[in-house]
Amino acid sequence: MSEKAETRRVVIIGLGLIGGSIGLRLKAAELPGLDIVGSDIDRASERAAKKAGAIDHGEHDLTKTVRDAQLVIIAVPIAALRDVFTAIAPHLADGAVVTDTASTKGEVMKWAAELLPETISFVGGHPMAGKEQAGIDHADAALFEGRAYCICPTVSASPTSIQSVVGLAQALGAEPVFIDAEEHDVYAAAISHLPLITATALFSLLRESPSWDDLGQLASTGFRDMTRLASSDPSMSNAIWKTNREAIIHWVDRLTEELQRMRGMLSDAKDEELFKLFAEAKLQRDEFIANPPRRETAARGPEVDRGRALLDIFVGGLMADNIRRVSKIPEMMEARQESGPEGNKRRLSLGEKMEEGIRRDLEKMEREREEKAKHEGND
């Protein structure tokens, strides 16, 4: 059958910022035979997505929406995800690939294993991109360009289904990163959820001050930049806390320790230590901005033909080599210290130091869990 005659159906459930941006990018590819169907609890969002060119047509009835879909992308808030799984499970076509975009993965993977049929493949996903503004009106086809796209396959997911989600990520302009669900949640708590809670805490602290009227007049770009995430959708934030509570508490405790350390320097007038801290932070952040750490993933292979990658969501082929490369990266969570030509160990890069530090944090959390379990057992 020719490509022209074959219809490839992609369903996007949830047409907010993320779902709408996915639709815009896929539609921009202008691939023959691609049928993008959108569904949202809000019919106005379906109409707006159609008008914006993010979908070919809307279908409010989830039963009809997923019936013949080859790829189902669920981009709803975490709080609604379990209900969506329940609703679509009996109607998914055998062999369909289902993926999501939720900000936490541990609970989502459990729900998928519990609720979705064995005849389909679920591959968890999380594009590390977004804005504080929600809704289809803020959707952007370039939202995922150059961003990491976390991929968490279930044990039962077929190689073809994993290949499909890698192809989707690359078609969106993102860089696929294979990661364990639990590790994802600890990492996301550090670099995404902790900034969200910190921004909220800072804004709430000052907003509740009796001096807010004066403070607000003085607030400029620094305060606005630091508190930007406080404008995030509160229902999304609440769902993140509920599904990633332990990891967030861990990082809040770590931040509290760091602030206490800096407070000690201030109170003890350790000016040289403070200067060194600020100077090192500036240098390291400048390095991070200029050369962010990158993993050795499929995205480091040959230049990707993104139009071809999108076709491979359905027909396979080009992405197989990339998948094989990615499958050989079980060490991606390890800091790498390779011996030099004379047997001397090379210095770790900044990115590798970050990985090493986070691995220590994971080990610390595991010890804390064991101590807590031991203490509860003694009680």
Q: What is the pLDDT along the chain (379 residues), one digit of tens a residue?
A: 344 446 788 999 999 899 999 999 999 888 778 899 999 998 998 999 999 989 999 888 888 889 889 999 999 989 899 999 999 999 999 989 999 999 999 999 999 999 999 999 999 999 988 776 778 888 888 899 989 999 998 888 888 888 889 989 988 999 999 988 988 999 889 988 999 999 999 999 999 999 999 899 898 889 999 999 898 888 888 888 888 899 899 999 999 999 999 999 999 888 888 899 999 988 988 888 888 776 554 434 345 555 555 555 554 433 434 434 444 434 433 433 444 444 455 444 444 444 555 556 666 666 777 777 777 777 6
β-bridge pairing 121-127 and 148-153: antiparallel
Q: Is residue 1 part of a domain?
A: no
Residue 234 is predicted with a pLDDT of 86
Read off φ and ψ for residue 147, nearest 5 degrees.
-90, 155
Structural domain containing residue 190: 185-268
Judgement on whether residues 31 and 104 belong to the same structural domain of the protein: yes
Tell me how crowded residue 345 is: count the other CB atoms within 10 A of its CB: 9
**Pair 39, 157 in one domain:** yes
7: Cβ contacts below 8 Å, ≥ 6 apart: 33, 35
pLDDT tens by residue, 8-60:
889 999 998 999 999 999 998 887 788 999 999 989 989 999 999 899 998 88
For 76, the token pair is 């709803």
**DSSP helix/strand/coil, 341:** coil
Q: How many CB atoms lie within 10 A of CB 113?
A: 13
78 shares a domain with 38:
yes
The CA–CA distances, whole Å, from 182 to 154, 195, 246 equal 13, 19, 11
- Is residue 274 domain-resident? no
Taking the C-alpha atoms of residue 55 and residue 17, their distance in angstroms, rounded to an integer, is 13
Integer CA distances (angstroms), 203 to 134, 245, 313, in order = 20, 21, 43
- C-beta separation of 58 from 49 below 8 A: yes
CATH code of 150's domain: 3.40.50.720
Computed on alpha carbons and rounded to an integer, the radius of gyration of the chain in Å comes to 23
Percent of the chain with pLDDT over 70: 78
Predicted model pTM = 0.72
Instruction: Please indicate, yes or no, if residue 288 is contained in any of the structural domains.
Output: no
User: Distances in Å between the alpha carbon of 368 and those of 247, 365, 374?
Assistant: 12, 5, 10
List, for residues 149-158, the tens digit of each pLDDT value. Answer: 999 988 888 8
- The sign one gets for the Cα dihedral 240, 127, 72, 116 is negative
Residue 158 in any domain: the answer is: yes
DSSP state of 339: B
C-alpha separations of 180 from 126, 203, 332, 333 in Å: 12, 33, 10, 9
Number of domains in the chain: 3
Residues 27 and 77 in one domain: yes
Closest CA to 314 of 37, 142, 69: 69
Burial environment of residue 189 by CB neighbours within 10 A (0 to 12, 13 to 18, 19 or more): buried
Q: Are residues 103 and 39 located together in one domain of the fold? A: yes
For residue range 73-96, what is the model confidence (pLDDT) as tens digits? 999 989 899 999 999 999 999 989
- Tell whether 28 and 151 lie within a shared domain: yes
- Same domain? 346 vs 303: no
